[in-house]
Amino acid sequence: MTTPPDPDPGRSLRLGRRIVLAVPFLWLLALFLTPFLIVARMSLSDTARALPPYAPHWEGFGRLGEFLAALDLENYALLASDTLYLAAYLSSVRLAAISTILALVVAFPLAYAMARAPRRWQPALLVAVILPFWTSFLIRIYAWIGILRPEGFLDVVVQALGLADAPLGLLNTDAAVVLGMVYSYLPFMVLPIYAALERIDRSLLEAAADLGSPPWKSFWTVTVPLAAPGIVAGCLLVFIPAIGEFVIPDLLGGPDTLMIGKVLWTEFFSNRDWPLSSAVAIVLLAVLLLPLLVFQRALRRGEGAR
Partner 1 sequence: MVRKFVAGAALAASLVLPAGHALAQQPELKIFNWSDYVDPAVLEEFTKETGVKVVYDTFDQMETVDTKLSAGKTGYDLIVVTASFLPRHIPLKLYAEVDRSKVPNLQHMWPEITSRLAKYDPGNRFAVNYMWGTTGIGYNVAKVKQRLGDAPVDSWSIVFDPAKLSKLADCGVHVLDATEEMFPAALRYLGLDPDSKKEADLTKASQLLQKIRPHIRKFHSSEYINALANGDICLAVGYSGDILQARKRAKEANAGVDIAYAIPKEGALMWFDSLVIPADAGNKDAALKFIDFVNRPEIAAKNSNFIQYASGNLAAQKHLDAAVLNDPGIYPKPDVIARLYTITPYDDRTQRTVNRMWTRVKTGR
Partner 2 sequence: MNQRTARKAARRSVGSVRRISAPWAEPDAKALVEFRSVTKSYGDVTAVDGLSLSIYPGEFFALLGPSGCGKTTLMRMLAGFEEPTGGTILLDGVEITGTPPHRRPTNMMFQSYALFPHMSVWDNIAFGLKQEGMARAAIASRVEEMLALVRLEGLARRRPDQLSGGQRQRVALARSLAKRPKVLLLDEPLGALDRKLREATQFELMDLQADLGLTFLMVTHDQDEAMIMADRIAVMDHGRIVQVAPAEEVYEQPANRYVAEFVGDVTIAEGVVTSVRGHLVHIHAPHFGAIEIDEEEGRANVGAPALVALRPEKIQIGHDEPAQPLNKVRGEIWDIAYLGDFTMMQVKVGGDDGPLVKAAIANRTRRMERPFAWDDMVWLWWDVEAGVLIDP
CB 282 within 8 A of CB 39: yes
Strands (DSSP E) contained in the chain are 46-47, 54-55
Nearest to 75 by CA among 55, 94, 50: 55
Out of partner 1, partner 2, none, what residue 150 binds, judged by CB under 5 to 8 A for its kind, is partner 1
Number of residues located near partner 1, criterion CB under 8 A: 29
Q: Examine residue 87 and tell whether it contacts partner 1 (CB under 8 A).
A: yes
CA distance 3 to 303: 41
Establish if 83 lies at the interface with partner 1 (CB under 8 A): yes
> Is 245 a binder of partner 1 (CB under 8 A)?
no
Q: What's the count of helices (H) and strands (E) in the chain, helices before strands?
A: 15, 2
Chosen from partner 2, partner 1, none, partner binding at 266 (C-beta under 5 to 8 Å by type): partner 1
Burial 274-284 (b: 16+ CB within 10 A, else e): bbbbbbbbbbb
Q: Does 217 bind partner 2 (CB under 8 A)?
A: yes
Q: Which is nearer to partner 1, 99 or 172 (CB)?
A: 172
From the list partner 1, partner 2, none, which binds 222 (C-beta under 5 to 8 Å, kind-based)? partner 2
SS3 171: coil
Residue 76 parent element (H or E): helix 74-81
Residue 21 interacts with partner 1 (CB under 8 A): yes or no? no
Contact window for partner 2 (CB under 8 A) among 84-92, 197-205, 277-285, 292-300:
197-205
Among 163, 203, 286, 300, binds partner 2 (CB under 8 A): 203
The option from partner 1, partner 2, none interacting with 19 (CB < 5 to 8 A, set by class) reads: none
Distance CA(248)–CA(256), nearest Å, equals 14
Give the binding site for partner 2 (CB under 8 A).
Answer: 201, 203-204, 206-215, 217, 221-222, 225-226, 228, 302, 304-306
